[in-house]
A and B are shown apart, each in its own frame.
Chain A
Amino acid sequence: DAKTTQPNSMESNEEEPVHLPCNHSTISGTDYIHWYRQLPSQGPEYVIHGLTSNVNNRMASLAIAEDRKSSTLILHRATLRDAAVYYCILWDLNSGGSNYKLTFGKGTLLTVNP
């Protein structure tokens, strides 16, 4: 499995933007970049995913480097409810079958200060 590297923790202030980086230098051409987050005492939830182009949804934006070896999850205005562990995960479109599984790394613990 292609690996990702994320900072262990980051801190932000409420209502400020947050940029969460992820390095994936061994990404393959068919790997999608997925982001999940895990709020305290909950199961992970999907945030966003992309392949090559930048993506936006109601939760966040995903900026993907041109060489795809890194990406950044952007929370435009952090709220206290965004405090969570954020996981950057590579998922191979061609894996199929039981390989729809997700391989979680350690993620980034985001603390949001009021």
Chain B
Amino acid sequence: SAVISQKPSRDICQRGTSLTIQCQVDSQVTMMFWYRQQPGQSLTLIATANQGSEATYESGFVIDKFPISRPNLTFSTLTVSNLSPEDSSIYLCSVEDLTANNEQFFGPGTRLTVL
């Protein structure tokens, strides 16, 4: 199984600023995913991040707002730009492990509050 850590675990930010969230995996993986979970809601996929290529964004999410980096096979960052209170959510990264039941492993999440 893959072990995933995220930094920071939580943050409080002012509107108009940006927050960069880091996701570190203890093994090399091809695909990493970034999800958003708004208060009381289910998870929504933001984008898929593959090493060596541009991230693939889901409908309703754009690169200018959620730029993603994937410099190697164990690390990715998600930046939430130009923050507004509506961006207050939990952001989670996940990775696929095709050798283990095709399951995905999730990080603990980053809780963002925008004032």
Binding site for B on A (CB under 8 A): 32, 34, 36, 41-46, 49, 85, 87, 91, 98, 100-107
Stretch at the interface among B11-19, B66-74, B76-84, B99-107: B99-107
Q: Identify the interface centre among A45, A85, A87: most chain B CB within 10 Å of its CB.
A: A45
6 residue pairs, one from A and one from B, having the closest CB atoms: A43-B106, A46-B103, A98-B48, A104-B43, A104-B42, A98-B56
* B44 touches A (CB below 8 Å): yes
Question: Which residues of the other chain, B, contact A106 by a CB distance below 8 angstroms?
Answer: 42
- Produce 1/0 per residue, B15-58, CB < 8 A to A: 00000000000000001010100000011110010100000101
Which secondary structure dominates where chain B touches chain A? strand
Chain A residue contacts of B42, Cβ below 8 A: 85, 87, 104-107
Q: List B contacts of A34 (CB < 8 A).
A: 103
Let me know if A101 and B106 touch, CB within 8 A. no
Complex CA–CA separation, A106 to B42 (angstroms)? 5
Closest chain-A Cβ to B25's Cβ sits at a distance in Å of 13
A101 lies within 8 A of B45 (CB): yes
Let me know if B43 and A44 touch, CB within 8 A.
yes
A100: chain B residues at CB < 8 Å are 31, 48, 96, 102, 104
A-B CB contact pairs (8 Å), 18 listed:
A36-B104, A43-B4, A43-B94, A43-B106, A43-B107, A49-B101, A49-B103, A87-B42, A98-B31, A98-B50, A98-B56, A100-B31, A100-B102, A101-B33, A103-B45, A104-B43, A105-B42, A107-B42
